[in-house]
């Protein structure tokens, strides 16, 4: 919107300038109507260019009639001649004048009426007259002395006509011509100067372009004491500004879009500004907290709330906590937090934490605790916020998330994934894999060790009450002795009953009652058996003693024989030595 308004203002200003120039009075033209027309017969000149419809007025020349002949119809004095010398300054090349004495130095002097800058001139001598070595002098003083005045130049041409300039500009009221040792013969002598607000060394084509519009620039070079007008620079203020503007182009153009040149006078950009710049001249950075093309973009969340780069939008110190990206415009993704979102949420439930602080807002995953959920459960605890206690695992700790025990399973006496349940009645040991023994009163064994709380049921014994009573015993704690059962079988380990009945001579429920006849036969049999056993033992002892004596005798004979053999060998060795 600002650029559109600026364009409208420039167009209106341009049209107004053209309209103003067209309103110059008939005798004026140019910028500000400062230049005077010098047309023949006082005709009006072109209101813009200043060209005349016919010729220039007398005393004026140049493309737009702005070069003045200062000497036109001025007073002229010729040495030794009483004539006023008007023929020399009437712009009529057919009328001439000459100093009267031959072989004498002649001179001619033109009075301009006031001191002027003298530089460009034209001299036409009489036919066949060489003007070589003629000298031109300028002064503000009227002297008759031959050597008065300041030398302007010495003519070099051998012809009778010359357009020339002083070696350097001189100020003076009187301009004279000297011809040493010979007379002067002049038909026309013109001294040129540019009109106000024009300049140039020949045709006064230059236009003053001073910063101060009322200043009259240097008539030769167009230089201005106040400097060049806005948009111009260089000698004569003829060079247009390039990527700069203002008087003498001292100001650089701002950041115009696509690096286009700004207005040479005002510095205004022709269209919009480069990204990051604002204002009519595009020399103002985007306001705080904005950036980019037309400053329409808003800065992101820069660290410490500093403003972003006005061109790119990047933050100089990174992003505030909770934001990331080149321009810090993107909020942290789920699972990250902090400056530039460079930190990961630890073990938050659902993976989400506060994007600024990293605190887990929905609690921790099972097995973790703390505000940031970065602390593992202490040994012996598990679950959400570590509020559950581990079961009876064989090896600690349990899994901190699920509470499950490792491959070693549960302690003896417990079962389940988390080893939280004690073995059911009747079972015990690792993972409750064993059945209890025969405990008294129907009680269950210890779920860990399998031991019964009191005694075993009758007929059972051992630590776990799983062993039957030893052979020949039965009953509580196996303290009862079986009767004599048929075929010498043991009785029932619980009741003491014989499965096949009692042996001959015994009776009763437990086969423990003995008849009288049976008792006598048993005693006789016992006695004969005892005597036979004693005789057998005696025979065995006798035979053992006999064998011992034989072994002892053999060992002695072998020892003597071995000694004798060794003695003989020794004697033979001694004999061989001799």
Q: Which tens digit of pLDDT belongs to each residue from 339-391?
A: 889 888 888 888 888 988 889 888 888 989 888 888 898 888 988 888 888 88
Element (H, E) at 193: strand 185-194
Q: Is 352:363 a contact under the CB 8 Å cutoff?
A: no
The residue among 508 and 542 whose pLDDT is bigger is 508
Q: Which of 29-33, 80-84, 444-448 is the most confident on average?
A: 444-448
Mean pLDDT score, 427-448: 89
Output the CA torsion 449→455→456→458 (10° steps): 180
- Can you spell out the DSSP letters for 211-275? SSTTPPPPTTT---TT-BPBTEESGGG-EEPSSEESBTT-EEP--BGGGPPPPTTT---SS-BPT
Q: What is the CATH number of the domain that holds 182?
A: 2.60.120.260
- Residue 574 pLDDT greater than 90, yes or no: no
Instruction: Look up the domain containing 491 and give its range.
Output: 469-517
Widest distance between CA atoms in the chain: 216
Final residue in a domain of this structure, among 162, 194, 226:
194
Alpha-carbon dihedral sign for residues 234, 240, 242, 244: positive
Q: 30 falls in which pLDDT band (50, 70, 90)? A: confident
Calculate the alpha carbon distances from 264 to 11, 51, 233, 239, 270 in Å: 15, 28, 10, 11, 11
Q: Note whether residue 88 is domain-resident.
A: yes
- Residue 575 pLDDT greater than 60, yes or no: no
Cα separation, 419 vs 413, whole angstroms: 9
**Residue 343 bridge partners (DSSP):** 337
Cα separation, 493 vs 502, whole angstroms: 16
Q: Note whether residue 126 is domain-resident.
A: yes
The residue among 155 and 23 whose pLDDT is bigger is 155
For residue 397, the number of C-alpha atoms closer than 13 Å in the C-beta half-sphere is 18
Cα separation, 67 vs 335, whole angstroms: 86
Q: Note whether residue 240 is domain-resident.
A: no
Q: Is 349 helix (H, G, I), strand (E, B) or coil?
A: helix
**Residue 124 bridge partners (DSSP):** 161, 188
Q: 488 falls in which pLDDT band (50, 70, 90)? A: confident
Cα separation, 391 vs 409, whole angstroms: 10
Mind listing the pLDDT tens digit for each residue in 221-245?
899 999 999 999 998 898 999 999 9
Q: By C-alpha distance, which of 150, 191, 190 is closest to 167?
A: 150
- Residue 573 pLDDT greater than 50, yes or no: no
Question: What is the reported pLDDT for 577?
Answer: 44
**Residue 198 bridge partners (DSSP):** 207
Both tokens of residue 43? 């005709």
Q: Is 198:37 a contact under the CB 8 Å cutoff?
A: no
Both tokens of residue 19? 């309209």
Q: Note whether residue 409 is domain-resident.
A: no
How high is the mean pLDDT of the chain? 85
Query: Is the link from the previous residue into 288 a cis peptide, with omega within 30 of 0?
Result: no
**pTM for this one?**
0.52
Both tokens of residue 25? 């009075």
Question: What is the reported pLDDT for 518?
Answer: 52
Q: By C-alpha distance, which of 268, 201, 202, 204 is closest to 30?
A: 204
Question: What is the reported pLDDT for 554?
Answer: 59
Q: Note whether residue 302 is domain-resident.
A: no
Length of the chain: 578
Q: Note whether residue 286 is domain-resident.
A: no
Mind listing the pLDDT tens digit for each residue in 316-342?
999 999 999 999 999 999 888 988 898
130-134, 430-434, 446-450: segment of lowest average pLDDT = 430-434
Question: What is the reported pLDDT for 145?
Answer: 65
Q: By C-alpha distance, which of 33, 35, 26 is closest to 62?
A: 35
132-136, 203-207, 270-274, 405-409: segment of lowest average pLDDT = 405-409
Mean pLDDT score, 143-152: 77
Q: Is 232:241 a contact under the CB 8 Å cutoff?
A: yes
15-19, 42-46, 213-217, 284-288: segment of lowest average pLDDT = 15-19
Question: What is the reported pLDDT for 532?
Answer: 57
Question: What is the reported pLDDT for 123?
Answer: 97
Final residue in a domain of this structure, among 155, 175, 194:
194
127-141, 254-268, 457-471, 547-561: segment of lowest average pLDDT = 547-561
Q: 498 falls in which pLDDT band (50, 70, 90)? A: very high
Question: What is the reported pLDDT for 236?
Answer: 87
Question: What is the reported pLDDT for 262?
Answer: 95
Element (H, E) at 119: strand 106-125
Say how many Å lie between the first and final Cα of the chain, rounded: 146
Mean pLDDT score, 155-161: 95
Calculate the alpha carbon distances from 99 to 107, 154, 182 in Å: 7, 19, 9
Both tokens of residue 230? 């806005």
Mean pLDDT score, 148-173: 93
Final residue in a domain of this structure, among 161, 177, 194:
194
Q: Note whether residue 389 is domain-resident.
A: no
Question: What is the reported pLDDT for 13?
Answer: 44
Domains: count for the chain = 2
Both tokens of residue 515? 């008849």
Q: By C-alpha distance, which of 6, 2, 1 is closest to 268?
A: 6
Q: Note whether residue 86 is domain-resident.
A: yes
């Amino acid at each position: 919107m600002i650029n559109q308004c600026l364009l409208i203002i420039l167009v209106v200003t341009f049209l107004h300038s053209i309209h103003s120039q067209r309103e110059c009075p008939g005798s004026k033209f140019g910028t500000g109507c400062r230049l005077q027309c010098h047309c023949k017969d006082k005709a009006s000149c072109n209101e813009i260019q200043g060209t005349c419809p016919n010729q220039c007025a007398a005393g004026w020349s140049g493309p737009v009639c702005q070069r003045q002949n200062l000497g036109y119809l001025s007073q002229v004095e010729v040495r030794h001649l009483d004539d006023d010398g008007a023929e020399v300054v009437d712009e009529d090349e057919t009328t001439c004048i000459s100093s009267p004495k031959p072989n004498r130095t002649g001179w001619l002097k033109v009075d301009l009426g006031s001191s002027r800058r003298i530089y460009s001139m034209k001299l036409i001598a009489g036919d066949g007259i060489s003007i070589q070595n003629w000298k031109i002098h300028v002064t503000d003083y009227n002297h008759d002395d031959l050597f008065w005045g300041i030398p302007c130049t010495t003519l070099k041409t051998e012809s009778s006509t010359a357009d020339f300039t002083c070696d350097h500009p001189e100020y003076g009221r009187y301009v004279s011509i000297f011809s040493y040792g010979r007379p002067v013969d002049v038909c026309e002598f013109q001294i040129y100067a540019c009109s106000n607000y024009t300049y140039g060394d020949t045709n006064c084509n230059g236009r003053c372009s001073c910063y101060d519009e009322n200043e009259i620039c240097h008539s030769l070079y167009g230089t201005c004491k106040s400097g060049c007008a806005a948009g111009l620079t260089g000698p004569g203020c003829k060079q247009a500004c390039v990527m700069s503007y203002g008087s003498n182009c001292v100001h650089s153009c701002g950041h115009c879009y696509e690096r286009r040149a700004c207005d040479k006078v005002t510095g205004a950009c022709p269209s919009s500004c480069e990204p990051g710049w604002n204002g009519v001249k595009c020399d103002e950075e985007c306001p705080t907290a904005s950036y980019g093309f037309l400053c329409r973009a808003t800065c992101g969340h820069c660290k410490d709330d500093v403003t972003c780069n006005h061109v790119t939008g990047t933050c100089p110190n990174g992003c505030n906590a909770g934001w990331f990206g080149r321009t810090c415009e993107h909020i942290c993704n789920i699972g990250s937090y902090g400056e530039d979102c460079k930190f990961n949420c630890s073990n938050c439930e659902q993976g989400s934490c506060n994007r600024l602080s990293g605190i887990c807002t929905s609690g921790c995953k099972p097995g973790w605790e703390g505000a940031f959920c970065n602390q593992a459960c202490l040994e012996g605890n598990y679950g959400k916020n570590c509020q559950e206690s581990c079961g009876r695992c064989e090896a600690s700790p349990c899994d901190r998330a699920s509470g499950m025990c490792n491959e070693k399973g549960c302690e003896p006496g417990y079962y389940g994934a988390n080893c939280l349940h004690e073995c059911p009645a009747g079972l015990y040991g690792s993972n409750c894999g064993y059945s209890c023994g025969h405990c008294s009163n129907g009680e269950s064994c210890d779920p860990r060790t399998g031991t019964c709380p009191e005694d075993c049921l009758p007929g059972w014994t051992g630590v776990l009450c799983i062993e039957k009573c030893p052979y020949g015993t039965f009953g509580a704690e196996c303290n009862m002795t079986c009767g004599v059962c048929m075929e010498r079988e043991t009785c029932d380990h619980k009741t003491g009953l014989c499965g096949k009945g009692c042996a001959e001579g015994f009776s009763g429920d437990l086969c423990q009652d003995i008849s009288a006849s049976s008792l006598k036969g048993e005693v006789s049999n016992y006695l004969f058996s005892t005597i036979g056993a004693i005789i057998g033992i005696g025979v065995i002892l006798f035979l053992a003693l006999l064998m011992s004596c034989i072994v002892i005798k053999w060992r002695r004979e072998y020892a003597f024989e071995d000694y004798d053999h060794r003695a003989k060998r020794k004697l033979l060795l001694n004999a061989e030595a001799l």
